[in-house]
Amino acid sequence: MTARSNSEKAMLDQAVAWAAALESDDVDWDGYMAWLEADPRHRAAFDSIALVSAAVDDHRAEITSLIAAQAPSKARRRVLRLFTYAGGSIAAAIALMVGVPLLWSPQPVRSYAADAHGSRDIALANGIHVTLSPSSSITVRGKDAGQVELASGEAYFDVRHDPARSLTVTAGSYRISDIGTRFSVNFTRTAFRIGVADGTVSVSSPGSEDVQVSAGHQLLSGSDGLTLSSVASSDVGSWRQGRLSYSNTPLPLVAADISRYSGKAVQIDPSLEKTHFSGTLVIGDGSRLLADLAILMGVEVHSQENGARIGTAAPR
Protein backbone atom coordinates (compact mmCIF):
# COMPACT_ATOMS: atom_id res chain seq x y z
CA MET A 1 0.00 0.00 0.00
CA THR A 2 1.42 3.42 -0.95
CA ALA A 3 2.01 6.28 1.47
CA ARG A 4 -0.83 8.19 -0.18
CA SER A 5 -3.32 5.35 0.22
CA ASN A 6 -2.23 4.91 3.84
CA SER A 7 -2.85 8.61 4.45
CA GLU A 8 -6.28 8.47 2.81
CA LYS A 9 -7.21 5.39 4.86
CA ALA A 10 -6.10 7.15 8.04
CA MET A 11 -8.31 10.14 7.21
CA LEU A 12 -11.29 7.87 6.58
CA ASP A 13 -10.63 6.08 9.88
CA GLN A 14 -10.55 9.44 11.66
CA ALA A 15 -13.77 10.50 9.90
CA VAL A 16 -15.46 7.27 11.02
CA ALA A 17 -14.31 7.89 14.59
CA TRP A 18 -15.63 11.46 14.59
CA ALA A 19 -18.93 10.38 13.01
CA ALA A 20 -19.38 7.90 15.85
CA ALA A 21 -18.29 10.46 18.46
CA LEU A 22 -20.84 13.01 17.25
CA GLU A 23 -23.61 10.60 18.19
CA SER A 24 -22.67 10.76 21.89
CA ASP A 25 -23.90 13.29 24.44
CA ASP A 26 -20.44 14.55 25.43
CA VAL A 27 -19.02 15.53 22.06
CA ASP A 28 -15.66 17.30 21.97
CA TRP A 29 -16.84 20.00 19.54
CA ASP A 30 -13.60 21.98 19.79
CA GLY A 31 -11.61 18.89 18.89
CA TYR A 32 -13.98 18.08 16.01
CA MET A 33 -13.77 21.60 14.54
CA ALA A 34 -9.98 21.63 14.95
CA TRP A 35 -9.77 18.34 13.05
CA LEU A 36 -12.02 19.67 10.26
CA GLU A 37 -9.97 22.84 9.86
CA ALA A 38 -6.60 21.07 9.99
CA ASP A 39 -6.90 19.82 6.40
CA PRO A 40 -9.53 20.61 3.71
CA ARG A 41 -9.56 16.89 2.86
CA HIS A 42 -10.98 16.11 6.30
CA ARG A 43 -14.32 17.71 5.37
CA ALA A 44 -14.48 15.60 2.20
CA ALA A 45 -13.66 12.45 4.17
CA PHE A 46 -16.32 13.19 6.78
CA ASP A 47 -18.92 13.94 4.09
CA SER A 48 -18.06 10.65 2.39
CA ILE A 49 -18.72 8.77 5.62
CA ALA A 50 -22.00 10.66 6.09
CA LEU A 51 -23.11 9.70 2.57
CA VAL A 52 -22.20 6.06 3.17
CA SER A 53 -24.05 6.16 6.47
CA ALA A 54 -27.18 7.45 4.76
CA ALA A 55 -26.89 4.75 2.10
CA VAL A 56 -26.52 2.07 4.77
CA ASP A 57 -29.65 3.24 6.53
CA ASP A 58 -31.57 3.35 3.24
CA HIS A 59 -30.52 -0.19 2.27
CA ARG A 60 -30.07 -1.91 5.63
CA ALA A 61 -31.99 -5.07 4.68
CA GLU A 62 -30.13 -5.54 1.37
CA ILE A 63 -26.72 -4.99 3.01
CA THR A 64 -27.53 -7.46 5.78
CA SER A 65 -28.28 -10.04 3.10
CA LEU A 66 -25.01 -9.28 1.29
CA ILE A 67 -22.99 -9.63 4.50
CA ALA A 68 -24.68 -12.94 5.23
CA ALA A 69 -23.90 -14.21 1.74
CA GLN A 70 -20.34 -12.94 1.28
CA ALA A 71 -18.54 -12.65 4.63
CA PRO A 72 -16.66 -15.69 6.04
CA SER A 73 -18.78 -17.60 8.55
CA LYS A 74 -16.85 -16.57 11.69
CA ALA A 75 -16.65 -12.92 10.71
CA ARG A 76 -20.22 -13.04 9.42
CA ARG A 77 -21.69 -13.73 12.84
CA ARG A 78 -19.72 -10.90 14.46
CA VAL A 79 -20.43 -8.36 11.72
CA LEU A 80 -24.13 -9.19 11.59
CA ARG A 81 -24.38 -8.81 15.35
CA LEU A 82 -22.65 -5.41 15.27
CA PHE A 83 -24.56 -4.32 12.18
CA THR A 84 -27.90 -5.18 13.76
CA TYR A 85 -27.32 -3.04 16.83
CA ALA A 86 -25.18 -0.24 15.40
CA GLY A 87 -26.78 2.66 13.62
CA GLY A 88 -25.84 5.60 11.43
CA SER A 89 -22.16 6.20 10.86
CA ILE A 90 -21.10 3.21 12.99
CA ALA A 91 -23.00 0.86 10.70
CA ALA A 92 -21.42 2.58 7.73
CA ALA A 93 -17.96 2.04 9.20
CA ILE A 94 -18.65 -1.68 9.67
CA ALA A 95 -19.88 -1.95 6.09
CA LEU A 96 -16.70 -0.29 4.87
CA MET A 97 -14.43 -2.54 6.93
CA VAL A 98 -15.92 -5.77 5.57
CA GLY A 99 -15.93 -4.48 2.01
CA VAL A 100 -19.66 -4.77 1.39
CA PRO A 101 -20.58 -3.48 -2.08
CA LEU A 102 -23.04 -0.75 -1.08
CA LEU A 103 -25.97 -0.01 -3.34
CA TRP A 104 -25.08 3.55 -4.15
CA SER A 105 -22.87 5.39 -6.61
CA PRO A 106 -20.45 8.22 -5.80
CA GLN A 107 -22.31 11.49 -5.45
CA PRO A 108 -21.24 14.36 -7.70
CA VAL A 109 -19.67 17.39 -6.08
CA ARG A 110 -19.88 20.78 -7.76
CA SER A 111 -18.53 24.15 -6.65
CA TYR A 112 -19.87 27.57 -7.59
CA ALA A 113 -18.42 31.00 -6.85
CA ALA A 114 -19.20 34.63 -7.53
CA ASP A 115 -16.26 36.93 -8.14
CA ALA A 116 -15.76 40.30 -6.48
CA HIS A 117 -17.50 42.20 -9.27
CA GLY A 118 -21.04 40.88 -9.07
CA SER A 119 -23.54 38.30 -7.87
CA ARG A 120 -24.24 34.96 -9.56
CA ASP A 121 -27.53 33.12 -10.13
CA ILE A 122 -27.46 29.30 -10.00
CA ALA A 123 -30.33 26.96 -10.85
CA LEU A 124 -29.91 23.61 -9.10
CA ALA A 125 -32.00 20.45 -9.28
CA ASN A 126 -35.48 20.05 -7.82
CA GLY A 127 -36.49 23.69 -7.94
CA ILE A 128 -33.59 25.02 -5.83
CA HIS A 129 -32.40 28.46 -6.93
CA VAL A 130 -29.39 30.15 -5.34
CA THR A 131 -28.07 33.69 -5.75
CA LEU A 132 -24.52 34.25 -4.56
CA SER A 133 -23.40 37.69 -3.42
CA PRO A 134 -19.96 38.92 -4.60
CA SER A 135 -16.95 36.95 -3.33
CA SER A 136 -19.12 34.09 -2.09
CA SER A 137 -18.97 30.37 -2.83
CA ILE A 138 -20.94 27.17 -2.28
CA THR A 139 -20.32 23.45 -2.72
CA VAL A 140 -23.22 21.25 -3.87
CA ARG A 141 -23.35 17.49 -3.28
CA GLY A 142 -25.70 14.88 -4.70
CA LYS A 143 -27.58 14.57 -7.97
CA ASP A 144 -30.63 16.12 -6.35
CA ALA A 145 -28.59 19.00 -4.84
CA GLY A 146 -29.76 17.95 -1.40
CA GLN A 147 -26.60 19.08 0.39
CA VAL A 148 -25.26 22.61 -0.02
CA GLU A 149 -22.33 24.06 1.90
CA LEU A 150 -21.85 27.82 2.08
CA ALA A 151 -18.08 28.12 2.24
CA SER A 152 -18.01 31.88 2.62
CA GLY A 153 -19.99 35.04 2.02
CA GLU A 154 -23.76 35.21 1.56
CA ALA A 155 -26.29 33.24 -0.47
CA TYR A 156 -30.02 33.69 -1.05
CA PHE A 157 -32.06 30.51 -1.45
CA ASP A 158 -35.41 30.31 -3.24
CA VAL A 159 -36.62 26.74 -2.79
CA ARG A 160 -39.78 25.30 -4.31
CA HIS A 161 -41.94 23.52 -1.73
CA ASP A 162 -41.64 19.74 -2.06
CA PRO A 163 -42.31 17.57 1.02
CA ALA A 164 -40.61 14.62 -0.69
CA ARG A 165 -37.31 16.46 -0.97
CA SER A 166 -34.89 17.30 1.83
CA LEU A 167 -32.43 20.17 1.57
CA THR A 168 -29.62 20.75 4.04
CA VAL A 169 -27.48 23.88 3.97
CA THR A 170 -24.37 23.94 6.14
CA ALA A 171 -22.34 27.00 7.08
CA GLY A 172 -19.45 26.08 9.34
CA SER A 173 -20.96 24.24 12.31
CA TYR A 174 -24.49 25.48 11.52
CA ARG A 175 -26.95 23.18 9.77
CA ILE A 176 -30.13 24.48 8.11
CA SER A 177 -32.96 22.17 7.09
CA ASP A 178 -35.59 23.27 4.58
CA ILE A 179 -38.31 21.84 2.37
CA GLY A 180 -39.53 24.98 0.67
CA THR A 181 -38.91 28.61 1.52
CA ARG A 182 -36.90 31.73 0.77
CA PHE A 183 -34.02 32.69 3.03
CA SER A 184 -30.57 34.27 3.04
CA VAL A 185 -27.51 32.91 4.87
CA ASN A 186 -24.46 35.01 5.71
CA PHE A 187 -21.38 33.29 7.10
CA THR A 188 -17.92 34.47 8.09
CA ARG A 189 -15.17 32.98 10.20
CA THR A 190 -16.61 34.65 13.30
CA ALA A 191 -20.30 35.34 12.57
CA PHE A 192 -23.47 33.76 11.21
CA ARG A 193 -26.85 35.15 10.18
CA ILE A 194 -29.91 33.64 8.55
CA GLY A 195 -32.98 35.67 7.63
CA VAL A 196 -36.21 34.09 6.39
CA ALA A 197 -38.47 35.89 3.92
CA ASP A 198 -41.00 33.09 3.42
CA GLY A 199 -41.70 29.74 5.10
CA THR A 200 -39.79 28.23 8.02
CA VAL A 201 -36.36 26.65 8.44
CA SER A 202 -34.78 24.68 11.26
CA VAL A 203 -31.27 25.62 12.40
CA SER A 204 -29.06 23.35 14.49
CA SER A 205 -25.64 24.06 15.95
CA PRO A 206 -23.29 22.44 18.48
CA GLY A 207 -24.38 22.90 22.06
CA SER A 208 -27.75 24.45 21.21
CA GLU A 209 -31.25 23.15 20.69
CA ASP A 210 -32.70 23.34 17.18
CA VAL A 211 -34.25 26.73 16.45
CA GLN A 212 -37.23 27.24 14.14
CA VAL A 213 -36.88 30.46 12.16
CA SER A 214 -40.06 31.60 10.43
CA ALA A 215 -40.75 34.34 7.89
CA GLY A 216 -39.98 37.81 9.18
CA HIS A 217 -37.31 36.59 11.60
CA GLN A 218 -33.54 36.26 11.68
CA LEU A 219 -31.12 34.19 13.73
CA LEU A 220 -27.77 35.76 14.62
CA SER A 221 -24.67 34.44 16.33
CA GLY A 222 -22.91 36.71 18.76
CA SER A 223 -21.00 36.92 22.01
CA ASP A 224 -24.16 35.84 23.86
CA GLY A 225 -24.85 32.85 21.62
CA LEU A 226 -27.73 32.65 19.16
CA THR A 227 -30.31 35.41 19.12
CA LEU A 228 -33.70 35.24 17.37
CA SER A 229 -35.24 38.57 16.38
CA SER A 230 -37.63 40.18 13.93
CA VAL A 231 -36.58 41.43 10.50
CA ALA A 232 -38.54 42.88 7.59
CA SER A 233 -39.01 40.20 4.95
CA SER A 234 -38.06 42.78 2.31
CA ASP A 235 -34.67 43.21 4.02
CA VAL A 236 -33.80 39.52 3.67
CA GLY A 237 -31.28 39.33 0.84
CA SER A 238 -31.58 43.09 0.28
CA TRP A 239 -28.13 43.12 -1.33
CA ARG A 240 -29.84 41.79 -4.45
CA GLN A 241 -31.50 45.22 -4.74
CA GLY A 242 -28.27 47.14 -4.16
CA ARG A 243 -28.53 47.78 -0.42
CA LEU A 244 -27.25 46.22 2.77
CA SER A 245 -29.97 46.28 5.42
CA TYR A 246 -29.22 45.34 9.01
CA SER A 247 -31.33 44.90 12.13
CA ASN A 248 -29.32 44.66 15.36
CA THR A 249 -26.51 42.89 13.49
CA PRO A 250 -23.07 42.26 15.07
CA LEU A 251 -20.55 44.74 13.70
CA PRO A 252 -18.04 41.99 12.71
CA LEU A 253 -20.58 40.62 10.22
CA VAL A 254 -21.23 44.12 8.83
CA ALA A 255 -17.47 44.64 8.46
CA ALA A 256 -17.12 41.32 6.64
CA ASP A 257 -19.83 42.40 4.18
CA ILE A 258 -18.11 45.72 3.56
CA SER A 259 -14.84 43.87 2.97
CA ARG A 260 -16.43 41.76 0.25
CA TYR A 261 -18.11 44.68 -1.51
CA SER A 262 -15.28 47.20 -1.19
CA GLY A 263 -12.37 44.84 -1.76
CA LYS A 264 -10.66 46.19 1.37
CA ALA A 265 -9.74 44.23 4.47
CA VAL A 266 -11.80 45.80 7.27
CA GLN A 267 -10.78 45.27 10.89
CA ILE A 268 -12.62 46.32 14.03
CA ASP A 269 -11.18 47.82 17.17
CA PRO A 270 -11.62 45.32 20.07
CA SER A 271 -13.75 47.85 21.92
CA LEU A 272 -16.38 47.63 19.15
CA GLU A 273 -16.44 43.86 18.59
CA LYS A 274 -19.65 43.44 20.62
CA THR A 275 -21.36 46.44 19.02
CA HIS A 276 -24.47 45.93 16.89
CA PHE A 277 -25.68 47.97 13.92
CA SER A 278 -29.15 48.71 12.57
CA GLY A 279 -29.55 50.64 9.34
CA THR A 280 -29.19 50.54 5.57
CA LEU A 281 -26.10 51.10 3.44
CA VAL A 282 -26.28 51.73 -0.31
CA ILE A 283 -23.78 49.43 -2.01
CA GLY A 284 -22.98 51.34 -5.20
CA ASP A 285 -19.42 50.46 -6.20
CA GLY A 286 -18.57 49.71 -2.56
CA SER A 287 -16.29 52.70 -2.12
CA ARG A 288 -18.67 54.68 0.14
CA LEU A 289 -19.74 51.87 2.46
CA LEU A 290 -17.18 52.51 5.19
CA ALA A 291 -17.71 56.26 5.16
CA ASP A 292 -21.48 55.88 5.32
CA LEU A 293 -21.21 53.40 8.20
CA ALA A 294 -18.96 55.81 10.08
CA ILE A 295 -21.54 58.60 9.74
CA LEU A 296 -24.45 56.42 10.84
CA MET A 297 -22.62 54.89 13.82
CA GLY A 298 -20.53 57.85 14.90
CA VAL A 299 -17.28 55.89 14.58
CA GLU A 300 -14.01 56.65 12.84
CA VAL A 301 -12.35 54.83 9.96
CA HIS A 302 -8.56 54.70 9.93
CA SER A 303 -6.75 53.73 6.76
CA GLN A 304 -4.05 51.12 7.05
CA GLU A 305 -2.04 48.96 4.71
CA ASN A 306 -4.35 46.93 2.43
CA GLY A 307 -7.48 48.06 4.23
CA ALA A 308 -9.02 50.01 7.09
CA ARG A 309 -9.84 49.79 10.78
CA ILE A 310 -13.10 50.87 12.42
CA GLY A 311 -12.51 52.53 15.78
CA THR A 312 -14.27 54.70 18.30
CA ALA A 313 -14.53 58.40 17.53
CA ALA A 314 -12.16 60.66 19.45
CA PRO A 315 -13.90 62.75 22.14
CA ARG A 316 -14.57 66.34 21.21
Domains of the chain and any CATH numbers = 3-97 (no CATH), 109-233 (2.60.120.1440), 242-312 (3.55.50.30)
The CA-CA-CA angle for residues 112, 114, 119, to 5°, reads: 125
**pLDDT at residue 55, as a whole number:** 59
Among 3, 1, 7, 28, which residue's Cα sits nearest to residue 17?
28
CA distance 96 to 47: 14
Is residue 141 within 8 A of residue 47, CB to CB? The reply is: yes
The answer to whether the predicted template modeling score (pTM) of the entire model surpasses 0.85 is: no
Per-residue pLDDT of the chain (316 residues; tens, 9 = 90+): 455 456 777 787 788 778 777 766 677 877 888 888 887 788 777 777 766 666 556 655 655 555 455 444 544 454 444 444 444 445 444 444 444 444 444 567 889 999 888 899 999 988 899 999 999 999 998 778 888 999 889 999 999 888 877 789 999 889 999 878 999 999 988 789 999 999 999 999 887 889 999 999 999 987 667 889 999 999 999 999 999 999 989 898 999 999 999 988 899 998 898 889 999 999 999 999 999 999 999 999 988 887 899 988 766 5
**pLDDT at residue 246, as a whole number:** 93
**pLDDT at residue 255, as a whole number:** 92
At 187, the amino acid letter reads F
**pLDDT at residue 94, as a whole number:** 46
Q: Is 164 exposed, middle or buried (0-12, 13-18, 19+ CB in 10 A)?
A: exposed
**pLDDT at residue 163, as a whole number:** 81
